[in-house]
């Protein structure tokens, strides 16, 4: 009877396989890192949208003014939904998201200026370096419309981006005076895609 010869990978074949794997990983890490930054930015923008929708729904449900406040003093995404006038049926804090729950690389800044249509070239490329005017607030009345109080830092637009990379995708959350809330992507044109900003 003939003995079976055992076969396996030689040391050279094993080294070639490890080298190929290392090259593939080196090519994939930057793309994965960019994807993670984009995903963190989107999650932060969606968190702001959820908080705004909660404030608007609570204002309509309670038939009272309810305030959404971006609270992250360092530009991090943190917010509180509550009633500016506290009563037994309307507490000061209805729902809260701590600024530490999101990535420290995600930054938000606010503005009361509307987005120009069409936006000029380079309008959305300015980096977000500081917190801007945070904390800032939006108030919704019992009909779900934006209610402007006599004092306070009021915004109707929040820009979310990453401080880690200038190429990370920016998301913009816009609130109309009628209370409509939408998240848009400045890299897309609104004329061809409803996800665009202008």
Tell me the whole-structure pTM to 2 decimals.
0.80
The domain that holds 63 is classified in CATH as 3.55.40.10
pLDDT at residue number 82: 92
pLDDT at residue number 55: 94
Q: Extract the residue ranges of the chain whose pLDDT is less than 70.
A: 1-6, 100-102, 126-133, 150-153
8 Å CB contact between 154 and 112: yes
At residue 79, φ and ψ (nearest 5 deg) are -150, 165
pLDDT at residue number 169: 85
Residue 79 lies in a domain: yes
Residue 102: Cβ within 10 Å count: 21
pLDDT at residue number 181: 92
Residue 5 lies in a domain: no
What count of Cα atoms within 13 Å lies in the side-chain half-sphere of residue 139? 16
pLDDT at residue number 127: 59
Residue from 131, 143, 154 nearest 179 by CA: 143
pLDDT at residue number 2: 63
Task: Work out how many domains the chain is built from and give that number.
Answer: 1
Domain span holding position 75: 11-184
pLDDT at residue number 133: 66
Residue 4 lies in a domain: no
pLDDT at residue number 153: 64
């Amino acid at each position: 009877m003939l003995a079976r010869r055992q076969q396996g990978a030689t040391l050279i074949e094993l080294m070639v396989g490890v080298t190929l794997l290392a090259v593939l990983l080196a090519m994939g890490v930057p793309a994965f890192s960019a994807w993670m930054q984009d995903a963190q930015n989107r999650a932060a923008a969606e968190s702001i949208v959820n908080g705004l929708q909660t404030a608007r729904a609570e204002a309509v449900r309670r038939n009272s003014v309810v305030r959404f406040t971006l609270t992250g003093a360092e530009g991090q995404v943190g917010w509180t939904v509550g009633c500016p006038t506290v009563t037994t049926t309307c507490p000061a804090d209805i729902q809260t998201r701590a600024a530490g729950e999101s990535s420290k690389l995600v930054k938000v800044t606010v503005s009361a200026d509307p987005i120009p249509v069409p936006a000029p070239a380079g309008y959305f490329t300015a980096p977000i370096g500081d917190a801007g005017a945070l904390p800032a607030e939006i108030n919704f009345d019992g009909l779900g419309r934006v209610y402007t109080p006599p004092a306070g830092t009021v915004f109707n637009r929040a820009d979310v981006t990453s401080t880690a990379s200038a190429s990370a995708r920016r998301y913009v959350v816009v609130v109309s005076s009628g209370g409509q809330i939408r998240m848009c992507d400045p890299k897309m044109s609104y004329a061809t895609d409803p996800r665009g900003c202008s």
